[in-house]
Amino acid sequence: MKMWINQLSHSMKIAIITPVFPPYAGGMGNVAFHHARLLQSRGYFVTVFTPSYKEKKDIETVFQGVEVAYIRPMVSYGNAAYLPKLKKKFEDFDVICLHYPFFGSVEAISSIIKPLIIFYHMDVVGKGMLQLVFSMHKKIFLPKIISTAKIIMASSFDYIKNSDIKEYYKAEPDKFSEIPNGVDTKIFYPKQESEITEKLHLSGSKVILFVGGLDRAHYFKGVEYLLQACAQLKINYKLMVVGKGDLADDC
């Protein structure tokens, strides 16, 4: 794997595909954004491809120095989008980096003959019909892109060893790479009690903190289970839920 990486020329063009991207608040989009910035800082030419969910038209722009192509989806549901135009967009690129899961894009690029890198963020879960769709996807498309990928990255080997792709890891461990998500210590660092602490009367209390998306696309965060678990605690505590979205009222 390292030999293949070393063969990459700094003049190469890299396409990053992600279902979400800032300013949308989501972990996958932020990881894709920082990957793009780091690759650019090393001299690579990078373009991010992501769905144009709201505008419903193709838009090319620059977000904090990163070129972003918003592609109008033929069909979209939540953060899944079918983007058949992707095939033509990749003709001038040397490497494709897919942030998975991204339903719609996997189907569009599964037949493209280009070096493929996958950043595997998480397994997919669902209920009812979604569970059936996800199950079919894992049987039909996931094996194909995993087998054709040059490299499969994840934030931890521990997750991969317990994920839906653990058998692929056992078969080809050298194909996998662990890249933990970093922390910008200029933004995140221990502070004294803040205005929020005073405003919400949290001083001296045991606090359980949840931070995450509260829109329907992030239903799998499982806030409802957190609420159920907290209701059974025998200690005095305060629960703080940080996030926004159309499920916020359910908290």
Domain count, the chain: 2
Say whether both 24 and 139 belong to one domain: yes
Class of residue 239 by CB neighbours under 10 A (exposed 0-12, middle 13-18, buried 19+): middle
Q: Band of the pLDDT at 3, cuts 50, 70, 90?
A: very low
Taking the C-alpha atoms of residue 75 and residue 62, their distance in angstroms, rounded to an integer, is: 25
Say whether both 220 and 163 belong to one domain: no
Taking the C-alpha atoms of residue 178 and residue 153, their distance in angstroms, rounded to an integer, is: 6
The pLDDT, as a whole number, for residue 8 is 58
Say whether both 208 and 164 belong to one domain: no
Q: Band of the pLDDT at 19, cuts 50, 70, 90?
A: very high
Tell the residue number behind the tokens 């690029």, with chain if given.
Answer: 109
Whether 187 maps to a domain, the answer reads no
Whether 161 maps to a domain, the answer reads yes
Q: How much is the average pLDDT of 133-158?
A: 87
Say whether both 227 and 118 belong to one domain: no
Whether 190 maps to a domain, the answer reads no
Say whether both 173 and 200 belong to one domain: no
Whether 27 maps to a domain, the answer reads yes
Whether 249 maps to a domain, the answer reads no
Q: Band of the pLDDT at 9, cuts 50, 70, 90?
A: low
Say whether both 84 and 142 belong to one domain: yes
pLDDT at 220 over 70: yes
Say whether both 121 and 228 belong to one domain: no
Domain boundary among 148, 178, 208: 178
For residue range 76-124, list pLDDT tens digits in order.
Answer: 877 888 888 887 888 889 999 999 998 877 766 666 677 899 999 998 8
pLDDT at 1 over 70: no
Top-confidence residue, 245 or 116: 116
For 14-23, 50-59, 165-174, which range has the lowest pLDDT when averaged over its residues? 50-59
Say whether both 239 and 121 belong to one domain: no
Say whether both 201 and 173 belong to one domain: no
What would the two tokens of residue 31 be?
Answer: 């990881």
Mean pLDDT of the chain: 84
For 14-18, 80-84, 124-128, which range has the lowest pLDDT when averaged over its residues? 124-128
Percentage of the chain lying above the pLDDT 70 cut? 91
Say whether both 132 and 218 belong to one domain: no
What would the two tokens of residue 219 be?
Answer: 């239903």
Q: What is the dihedral of CA 250, 159, 177, 16, to 10 degrees?
A: -20
Chain-centre distance for alpha carbon 161: 19
Say whether both 212 and 93 belong to one domain: no
pLDDT at 75 over 70: yes
Say whether both 92 and 118 belong to one domain: yes
The pLDDT, as a whole number, for residue 4 is 45
Strand order in the sheet with 59-63: 59-63, 66-71, 45-51, 13-17, 95-100, 116-120, 151-154, 176-178
What's the CATH number where 155 sits? 3.40.50.2000
The pLDDT, as a whole number, for residue 74 is 85
Question: What range does the domain containing 55 cover?
Answer: 2-178
Whether 250 maps to a domain, the answer reads no
pLDDT at 10 over 70: no
For 13-27, 69-83, 163-177, which range has the lowest pLDDT when averaged over its residues? 69-83
Whether 183 maps to a domain, the answer reads no
Distances from the Cα of 199 to the Cα of 228, 239, 251, angstroms: 26, 14, 20
Whether 238 maps to a domain, the answer reads yes
